[in-house]
Amino acid sequence: SIDNVKAEFDKALADAGDKLVVVDFTASWCGPCQRIAPVFAALADEMPDVVFVKVDVDENDEVASDCGISSMPTFQFYKSGAKVHEFSGASEEKIRDAIKSFK
């Protein structure tokens, strides 16, 4: 998980190369975020060829605002450093569908 602002976020995207990066913008006070967290962790274990990153919006408001986050959870999908997809809401099915589409 990303604790240190924008540089670390940008580095995570760069380090992923051409792998798909799935970013979970979450908050400790957000019920749906907490419910989807174990699913997100399980998907990360299941799909080692995809990079999963969790960003706590309260600790990383700079990254959240740069990424245009207005509600939690929001999932963004990046390929080669560029955002290719985004949706809000805690839906495992939507996460899986997006991974299939963009991987």
Alpha-carbon span 63 to 73, nearest angstrom: 14
Catalytic residue annotation: 30, 33
Per-residue model confidence as pLDDT tens digits over 76-100: 999 999 999 999 999 999 999 999 9
Superfamily grouping for domain 5-102? Glutaredoxin (3.40.30.10)
| Domain parsing of the chain, residue ranges | 5-102
| Digit-coded pLDDT (tens) for 23-80 | 999 999 999 999 999 999 999 999 999 999 999 999 888 899 999 999 999 999 999 9
Over residues 1-23, the pLDDT tens digits come to: 555 578 889 999 999 999 999 99
Q: What pTM was estimated for this model as a whole? A: 0.93
